[in-house]
Amino acid sequence: MNEYENDHEHDPPAPELPLVVGVRFRAGGPVSDFDPGTLALKRDDRVLVETERGPTLGTVSAAPMRRTTGRRLHRVLQLAEHRDLAVEDDQLLRQHDLRRSVLQVFRGRELPIKLVKVERSSDGSRALVYYASEERYEHRDLARDLADVLAMRVEMRQMGSRDEAKVAGGMGVCGRELCCSSWLKEFQAVSVKMAKAQGLALNFSKLAGQCGRLKCCMRYEYETYLELRRELPAIGVHVESVKGNGEVVGQSLLKQTVRVRRDDDGEVVDVTLDELVARRPDA
Task: Round the average pLDDT of the chain to a whole number and report it.
Answer: 83
Residue 112's pLDDT band (boundaries 50, 70, 90)? confident
DSSP-assigned states of every residue in 201-235: ---HHHHB-TTSSBPTHHHHHHHHHHHHHHTSPPT
Q: What is the mean pLDDT of residues 171-175?
A: 82
pLDDT at position 76, please?
Answer: 92
Q: Which residues pair with 14 in a beta bridge?
A: none
Give residue 184's pLDDT: 76
CB 222 within 8 A of CB 228: no
- Are 56 and 79 contacting, i.e. CB atoms less than 8 angstroms apart? no
Q: How confident is the model at residue 281 (pLDDT cuts 50, 70, 90)?
A: very low
The answer to whether the pTM exceeds 0.85 is no
Structural domains of the chain, with CATH: 19-80 (no CATH), 85-159 (3.30.300.20), 177-228 (no CATH), 232-279 (2.30.30.140)
Distance between CA atoms of residues 36 and 60, nearest Å: 10
The burial of 161, by beta-carbon neighbours within 10 Å (0-12 exposed, 13-18 middle, 19 or more buried), is given as middle
What SS3 state is found at 32?
Answer: strand
Which residue, 162, 208, 204, 205, is CA-closest to 185?
A: 162
Beta strands 19-24; 31-34: pairing state:
antiparallel
pLDDT of residue 6: 56
Please say if the pLDDT value at position 261 is more than 90. Answer: yes
Q: How far apart are CA 269 and CA 260, in angstroms?
A: 5
Chain centre distance of CA 221: 14
Which residue, among 128, 140, 123, 138, has the nearest Cα to 102 in the 3D structure?
A: 128
* CA–CA gap between residue 61 and residue 21 (Å, rounded): 8
**pLDDT tens track for 193-247:** 888 888 888 888 888 888 888 888 888 888 888 888 888 888 888 998 889 899 9
pLDDT in tens, 25-84: 876 667 888 989 889 899 889 999 988 777 889 999 888 888 777 778 889 999 999 998
- pLDDT at position 91: 85
Predicted confidence at residue 2, as pLDDT, reads 56
Q: Going by C-beta distance under 8 Å and a sequence separation of 6 or more, which residues neighbour residue 87?
A: 57
**pLDDT exceeds 50 at position 282:** no
Q: What is the pLDDT of residues 205-219, one digit of tens each?
A: 888 888 888 888 888
**For residues 206, 253, 190 and 214, what is the CA-based torsion angle, rounded to 10 degrees?**
0
27-36, 93-102, 251-260: the lowest-pLDDT one: 27-36
* CA 115 to mean position of chain CA atoms: 22
Task: Provide the percentage of residues in the chain whose pLDDT is more than 90.
Answer: 13
CA nearest to 262, candidates 233, 234, 239, 232: 239
Instruction: For residue 141, name the pLDDT band (cuts at 50, 70, 90).
Output: confident
* Amino acid 268: pLDDT: 92
Mean pLDDT of the 130-146 span = 82
pLDDT for 249 equals 92
- In DSSP terms, 177 is beta-bridged to 171
